[in-house]
């Protein structure tokens, strides 16, 4: 039996927020149907009572309002929550692979804030970071676990990791939302946002690939050969992989029109410098007496903050020289 649900829409020709070149339908209603062969459809057949009751409960005004919010050209808190909720529901199998349930809750807040500040392009950037970082974490997981250098929970990140990885980006998002510094600084906050995730992805990929494939790992402060997974250790394989990852994410940001080519180069340079600084902090201070508070999450905050701030400073210097 065929089932159908008529849904009313207001007439509009406004371009879709998700597909800029695709206008919303001008018809007054759509007909969603499960008919596999329209010729066999009989108009005399009625919907089951349960479906009729469900469709009767649908508030057309509420549904219309939800669709209008999603297609709004200017991100709002309402569109951010609605869009984020929909994407989280559809992408839950992927999210579960890389996050604990509490980590997913923290990621939902991050996604909502990101969408509100930078729209779908900012959200897609963070999603790209998450997918690439999760794949790198899963590389040779069994080997890493056997060597005792794997991330806990088979790489599923908790809320501390989510916050530590996104703190600088969240600050940039809030600065952008509330227009701190006026229109002149708005784009700088977006640049800082992109740079923070380029920095974190560089760190994650270099660490995970280094632990999986690094033939020789050196302590960054002394270049003494140390075991894989040692705080402050670097390897050629991991360093190259991290650099390529930051280039990839900066390129994604360019494609999404968040930054231009020169700004992408700045993000890559800032991320590389910040990760060298993070390795020095890990080697010199982490796990030392008096610095027990300096765990991985705290180091992550310092790392991405350095990358974000450095990118903003470099961009200001570039603009000053061009003036």
Query: Residue 291: which residues within 8 A CB-CB, separation 6 or more?
Result: 285
Report pLDDT digits (tens) over 164-202. 889 999 999 999 999 999 988 999 999 999 999 999 999
When divided into structural domains, the chain yields a total of: 2
Q: Which two tokens stand for residue 179?
A: 């227009």
CA gap 14, 305 in Å, rounded: 39
How confident is the model over 105-123, as pLDDT tens digits?
A: 999 999 999 999 999 999 9
Q: Does 164 lie in the same domain as 271?
A: yes
Q: What is the largest CA-CA distance in the chain?
A: 83
Pair 230, 300 in one domain:
yes
Left if phi > 0, otherwise alpha if psi is -120 to 50, otherwise beta: which for 179? left
Enclosing domain of residue 241: 76-322
Q: Which among 52, 69, 86 is the end of a domain?
A: 69
CB atoms within 10 A of CB 112: 21
Q: Is 140 found in the same domain as 109?
A: yes
65 plus 98 within the same structural domain: no
Residue with tokens 């990140």: 157
Angstrom distances, CA of residue 19 to CA of 15, 72, 152? 7, 12, 39
Report yes or no: 282 and 275 within 8 Å, Cβ to Cβ.
no
Residues 165 and 313 in one domain: yes
Residues 118 and 160 occupy one common structural domain: yes
Distance from C-alpha of 301 to C-alpha of 297, rounded to nearest angstrom? 6
Query: Residue 205's pLDDT band (boundaries 50, 70, 90)?
Result: very high
User: Could you say which of 28, 51, 69 is where a domain stops?
Assistant: 69
Same structural domain, 63 and 81: no
Q: Which pTM was predicted? A: 0.76
> Which residue's entry shows tokens 């199998």?
93
Same domain? 20 vs 104: no
């Amino acid at each position: 039996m065929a089932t159908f649900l008529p849904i009313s829409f207001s007439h509009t020709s406004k371009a879709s927020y998700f597909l800029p070149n695709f206008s919303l339908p001008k018809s007054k209603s759509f007909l969603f149907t499960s008919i596999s062969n329209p010729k066999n459809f009989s108009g005399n057949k009625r919907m089951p009572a349960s479906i009729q009751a469900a469709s009767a409960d649908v508030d057309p005004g509420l549904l219309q309002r939800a669709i209008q919010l999603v297609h709004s050209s200017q991100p709002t808190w309402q569109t951010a929550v609605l869009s984020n909720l929909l994407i989280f529901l559809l992408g839950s199998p992927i999210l579960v692979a890389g996050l604990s349930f509490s980590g997913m809750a923290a990621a939902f807040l991050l996604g909502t804030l990101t969408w509100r500040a930078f729209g779908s392009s900012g959200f897609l950037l963070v999603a790209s970071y998450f997918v690439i970082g999760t794949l790198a974490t899963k590389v040779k997981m069994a080997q890493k676990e056997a060597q005792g250098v794997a991330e806990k929970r088979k790489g599923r990140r908790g809320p501390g990791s989510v916050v530590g990885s996104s703190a600088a980006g969240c600050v940039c998002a809030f600065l952008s939302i509330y227009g701190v510094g006026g229109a002149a600084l708005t784009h700088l906050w977006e640049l800082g946002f992109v740079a923070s995730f380029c920095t974190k992805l560089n760190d994650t990929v270099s660490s995970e690939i280094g632990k999986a494939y690094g033939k020789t790992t050196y302590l960054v402060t002394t270049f003494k050969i140390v075991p894989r997974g040692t705080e402050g250790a670097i390897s050629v394989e991991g360093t190259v992989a991290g650099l390529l990852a930051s280039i990839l994410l900066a390129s994604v940001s360019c494609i999404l029109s968040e930054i231009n080519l020169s700004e992408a180069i700045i993000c890559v340079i800032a991320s590389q410098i910040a990760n060298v600084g993070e390795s020095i902090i890990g080697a010199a201070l982490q796990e030392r007496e008096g610095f027990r508070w300096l765990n991985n999450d705290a180091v992550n905050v310092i790392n991405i903050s350095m990358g974000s701030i450095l990118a903003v400073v470099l961009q200001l210097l570039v603009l000053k020289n061009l003036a």
